[in-house]
Amino acid sequence: MVISSQPTSIDRKLSKVEGIKDRSNLLREPMASEVLLDTTHFTEDSIQLLKFHGSYQQDNRDNRVRGQEKDYSMMLRTRTPGGFVPPQLYLTLDRLSDQYGNHTMRITTRQAFQLHGILKKNLKQTIAEIVHNMGSTLTACGDVNRNVMSPAAPYHNRPEYDLARTYANNVADLLTPQSGAYYEIWLDGEKVVSGEEDPEVVAARKRDINGSNIEGSIEPIYGPHYLPRKFKICVTVPGDNSVDLFSQDLSLVVLTNEQGELEGFNVFAGGGLGRTHNKEETFPRLADPIGYVDKADVYDLVKAIVATQRDYGDRSDRRHSRMKYLVEEWGVEKFRAKVEEYFGQKIAPSKPLPQWKYLDFLGWQQQGDGKLFLGLAVQNGRIKDEGDFKLKSALKRIVERFNLPLKLTPSQDVILFDIDPADKSKIQAILDRAKIARPTKIDPLARYSMACPALPTCGLATTEAERVSPSILARVRSLLDKVGLPNEHFFLRMTGCPNGCARPYLAELGLVGNGPNTYQVWMGAAPNQTRLAKVYLEKLNIDDLETVLEPVFTYFKKERQLGESFGDFCDRVGLDAIHQFAST
């Protein structure tokens, strides 16, 4: 099979972004020239390319004044597979957030860090310092594979966790763009590598499997036009759904034998959450099981799936270009058959798996090699100092003094690990002085909640999320107390628009921005994130939160089965029955 170097998928007109990629000379121009100009912001074509390099142009929406230039700055996102952040990188990001950013660092829902508020003139220096200190921002955004997730728990006595970490790194390496643009532009051509690539990964990248490599291209897997849209992957272990595996384009589940040796992977594909209000043709979708692959063939299968999306994903309409739509429209059988053409062999049936569980790994825990780890809840992932609460200073102090590496979790929390048990009390004392609550003292409603950044940085937000989430949680808590459910908690996730960055469609209660102070209300996802929620209400003015939710919680209290979670209850009785109860 010969693969064309042009996007092949459709006869329809290609989207504007395809033209920008085509003209860019593998992610260089016009951005490379504009970086050098003394301007406050980039032009449209460069903004699109900038994403592949890990940055978004934003403006502070609180400071918009009609007729005046926007208050531009850049958001930078790290590439940190499995959320691993070495101490040197952590301390560098901490310093850069003060020197060039808005004095906060934000843990994302995909185990990365974001710095906000970096002026264009400081972007090159900031990226260069990240790369020189064991980090990278390459492909943190853009139409490529994004940060690869894996469970954040740093267990060292459970081989499947070590394997998930290793394969998350390797898959990230396999799908790293090979164009030297990143190093040319941000590091004046100096190629800095923070670790050796596994030779199997290097070989797999070059290996041509049934035409899935693009002949003669510098980008053997992606080709010169990269993917039609962002692509998201996780690697997890049986039973551990801390990574929300059903929301990903591609999920691998590590399978080991009784000795803990790797045998292969179960593969899921076609998940994704982004949607647009009032456009029925856009929807969240859970990934389907695709089959099982032996360890020797896993990279070839990953490439075959990526190549299928590369060649058949919709490059004309960016609202329809995620792989989930390909899987939905073709059906799993056709999708699997097409992947098999690239893969060059049949995909074996999936192996049995246990039930999935949500895990967040908070608190002090044994890591299995005599050392400890400590998971700390970070509200909406924002690491900051505010009044007496000094999370940013405390983490800096601890990482500096004890030289500890960190793991960022998919629930926007942080884990410090490799802790000598002799240091436990000293570390706890620093945290106590900085008023960092112990996980057992945090309201579980807050512990299991997430909110996206939304206003003022996100250009797509239609309303608030992160900034109002503490007050919303407090109001929901009061309401639960009022209806006689004082100890109840569930997954509440909130976003400023329907793109779904805090994965609200997998929450038991999801609030999805739908205009100023207004949210679409979703209910009924499973507490282990294996079932999607459904729309309960199109538009909730946030002032009416109590009026709308009180009858819902009252009905839940009255009719729930023993131990039934809020999401399972909503799913069992159905949203129509809840509406009916609420209207009586």
Contacts with ligand SRM by CB under 6 A lie at 56, 58, 75, 77, 108-110, 112, 114, 146-147, 230, 232, 244, 247, 272-274, 322, 381, 452-453, 457-460, 499-503
Q: Which is nearer to ligand SRM, 126 or 457 (CB)?
A: 457
Alpha-carbon distance of 365 to 440, in angstroms, equals 13
DSSP letter assigned to residue 60 = -
Q: Which is nearer to ligand SF4, 416 or 465 (CB)?
A: 465
Min separation Cβ 451 and ligand SF4, Å: 8
Nearest of 219, 214, 274, 279 to residue 24 by alpha carbon: 219
- Indicate which of ligand SRM, ligand SF4, none lies near residue 108 (CB less than 5 to 8 Å, by partner kind): ligand SRM
Strands 509-513 and 492-495: parallel
| E-strand stretches of 245-396 | 250-256, 262-269, 288-294, 363-366, 372-376, 382-383, 385-386, 389-390
The residue range among 138-146, 380-388, 391-399, 490-498 that interacts with ligand SF4, by the rule CB under 6 A, is 490-498
Q: Which is nearer to ligand SF4, 124 or 277 (CB)?
A: 277
Written as six digits, the tokens of 12 are 């329809």
Alpha-carbon distance of 101 to 91, in angstroms, equals 14
Amino acid identity for residue 519 in this structure = Y
Helix intervals (H) in 239-364? 298-312, 323-330, 332-343
The residue range among 175-183, 291-299, 330-338, 452-460 that interacts with ligand SF4, by the rule CB under 6 A, is 452-460
Alpha-carbon distance of 148 to 250, in angstroms, equals 10
Q: Which is nearer to ligand SRM, 112 or 306 (CB)?
A: 112
497 touches ligand SF4 by CB under 6 A: yes
Check: CB of residue 374 under 8 Å from CB of residue 438: no
SS3 415: strand
Cα 369-136-456 angle, rounded to 5 deg:
105
375 touches ligand SF4 by CB under 6 A: no
Min separation Cβ 148 and ligand SRM, Å: 10
Contacts within 8 Å (CB) and 24+ apart, 576-584? 578/523, 578/536, 578/551, 578/552, 579/536, 581/551, 581/554, 581/555, 582/548, 582/551, 582/552, 582/555
- Indicate which of ligand SRM, ligand SF4, none lies near residue 247 (CB less than 5 to 8 Å, by partner kind): ligand SRM
510 touches ligand SF4 by CB under 6 A: no
SS3 382: strand
Q: Which is nearer to ligand SRM, 146 or 205 (CB)?
A: 146
Nearest of 505, 437, 440, 449 to residue 474 by alpha carbon: 449
- Indicate which of ligand SF4, ligand SRM, none lies near residue 273 (CB less than 5 to 8 Å, by partner kind): ligand SRM
Min separation Cβ 462 and ligand SF4, Å: 7
- Indicate which of ligand SF4, ligand SRM, none lies near residue 86 (CB less than 5 to 8 Å, by partner kind): none
Catalytic annotation, residues:
77, 146, 230, 232, 452, 458, 497, 501
Binding residues for ligand SF4, rule CB under 6 A, total: 14
The residue range among 13-21, 194-202, 368-376, 491-499 that interacts with ligand SF4, by the rule CB under 6 A, is 491-499
507 touches ligand SF4 by CB under 6 A: no
Check: CB of residue 113 under 8 Å from CB of residue 147: no
Amino acid identity for residue 405 in this structure = P
SS3 580: helix
Min separation Cβ 463 and ligand SF4, Å: 8
One residue of 458, 537, 570, 573 binding ligand SF4 per CB under 6 A: 458
Check: CB of residue 108 under 8 Å from CB of residue 412: yes
- Indicate which of ligand SF4, ligand SRM, none lies near residue 497 (CB less than 5 to 8 Å, by partner kind): ligand SF4
Alpha-carbon distance of 532 to 549, in angstroms, equals 20
Q: Which is nearer to ligand SRM, 21 or 322 (CB)?
A: 322
One residue of 250, 416, 461, 570 binding ligand SF4 per CB under 6 A: 461
SS3 222: coil
One residue of 108, 247, 469, 499 binding ligand SF4 per CB under 6 A: 499
One residue of 337, 460, 474, 577 binding ligand SF4 per CB under 6 A: 460
Question: Closest residue (Cβ) to ligand SRM?
Answer: 274
Written as six digits, the tokens of 191 are 């190629």
Written as six digits, the tokens of 44 are 């449209």
452 touches ligand SF4 by CB under 6 A: yes
Min separation Cβ 192 and ligand SRM, Å: 21
Min separation Cβ 470 and ligand SF4, Å: 16
What's the first-to-final CA gap in the chain, in angstroms? 64
Nearest of 174, 168, 489 to residue 300 by alpha carbon: 174
What is the chain's Cα-based Rg? 23
Which residues fall within 8 angstroms of residue 16, CB to CB, at 6 or more apart?
none
Give just the sign of the alpha carbon dihedral 269, 249, 161, 426: negative
- Indicate which of ligand SRM, ligand SF4, none lies near residue 447 (CB less than 5 to 8 Å, by partner kind): none
Query: Which H or E run includes 18?
Result: helix 16-23
One residue of 501, 507, 525, 533 binding ligand SF4 per CB under 6 A: 501
Min separation Cβ 274 and ligand SF4, Å: 8
- Indicate which of ligand SF4, ligand SRM, none lies near residue 109 (CB less than 5 to 8 Å, by partner kind): ligand SRM
Min separation Cβ 125 and ligand SF4, Å: 26
- Indicate which of ligand SF4, ligand SRM, none lies near residue 407 (CB less than 5 to 8 Å, by partner kind): none
Q: Which is nearer to ligand SRM, 153 or 552 (CB)?
A: 153
Helix intervals (H) in 356-390? none
Check: CB of residue 439 under 8 Å from CB of residue 363: yes
What are the residues binding ligand SF4 (CB under 6 A)? Answer: 452-454, 458, 460-461, 465, 495-497, 499-501, 513
